[in-house]
Amino acid sequence: MQTNSQLRSSSYYLFGLIFALAGAVLFSAKAIVAKLLYREGIDAVSLIALRMLLAAPFFVAVAIWTWRQLPALSGRDFFRISLLGLLGYFLSSFLDFLGLQYISAGLERLILFLTPSFVLLFNIAWFKHTVTLRQWLSLAVAYSGIVLVFWQDLQIGKQPQVMLGSTLVLGSAIAYAIYLVFSGELLQRVGTLRLVALAMTVSCMACLIQYAVLRSFPTLFIQTLPVWGLSLINATLCTVFPVFLTMMAVARIGASNASQAGMVGPISTLFLGFWILAEAITPLQLLGTGLVITGIFILSSKNSRLARLNKT
């Protein structure tokens, strides 16, 4: 029979797992919402501006709260956080939403899912980390899955558009991987909650400034009711909620376990795309998705074991 402490521990882990799964599904759903918004006739600049306009109050509130609760940041730290926010959230999100105009939601999610492999490759290139046979195997399996899905999309879509969209989303994944590589040291000193809140606030400001430069800013508020409704879903359910759900999950079950739970993302996007957008699901897409998830699982399970060894 389990003791009360064991039951509490099991419940704590279970809720962490639920948070991680929910965060992955909700964050992946932004591709579906973006596709629906494009059907309403808006472009990528307007889409991301509306998303950040509606999400900004949440991140500004958290940024103010952490600013009051935690020690003050140095000017150098704030400068680095601003750069990371521009790279990891502004540039990455903008390239992602641009790419979604040309490729399926399923392919977009699979390309973004390669981010851990880019982190590994950047660590090899910049920090001279050694690579094990297991890690090379994980890369080979994951990238073979992407090739299959990419080839499938080339066959059923317009080749120039698929190439352009895939390149843009690939750029998004690379930008976010660079953010992850260089945010590690800051996370330890600044704190995850404060770093994310400040970086997202900077990103929100950058998106709104971009709209003001490229468009007439007052026109941002002249949108149809469906656009406002979908943008509110995009800002809350697909942006704010996943960010904080994932952080709560990491606090309960650790980054490695949360990362593995996030593998549900590409699967959920594939089936949501089929259900909501009527995107086809072919055996080749299922095989490619399975290979990508297997490759990332091989990589993350290796990191999970290392983390447990370091704790002993």
Let me know: does 245 contact 22? Beta carbons within 8 Å.
yes
Q: Is residue 211 part of a domain?
A: yes
Q: Is residue 3 part of a domain?
A: no
Length of the chain measured in residues: 312
Q: Is residue 277 part of a domain?
A: yes
* Two structure tokens written together for 296: 């990332």
> Residue 308: its pLDDT value, please?
40
Q: Is residue 6 part of a domain?
A: no
Domain that holds residue 191: 13-311
Residues 95-130: pLDDT tens digits? 999 999 998 888 888 888 888 788 888 878 787 777
Q: Is residue 2 part of a domain?
A: no
Q: Is residue 166 part of a domain?
A: yes
Residues 131-151: pLDDT tens digits? 788 878 888 888 888 888 877
> Residue 130: its pLDDT value, please?
75
CA atoms within 13 A on the CB side of 146: 21
Residue 172 has pLDDT above 90, yes or no: yes
Q: Is residue 7 part of a domain?
A: no
Residue 247: partners with Cβ closer than 8 Å, 6 or more residues away: 192, 193, 196
Number of folded domains that form the chain: 1
Phi-psi label, residue 43: left if phi above 0, alpha if psi -120 to 50, beta otherwise: beta
Share of the chain above pLDDT 90, in %: 37
Residues 206-254: pLDDT tens digits? 999 999 999 988 999 999 999 999 999 999 999 999 988 888 887 787 7
Residue 260's identity, in one-letter code, is Q
> Residue 305: its pLDDT value, please?
43
- Closest residue by Cα to residue 96 from 183, 27, 192, 187: 27
> Residue 241: its pLDDT value, please?
93
- CA–CA separation, 279 and 231 (whole Å): 21
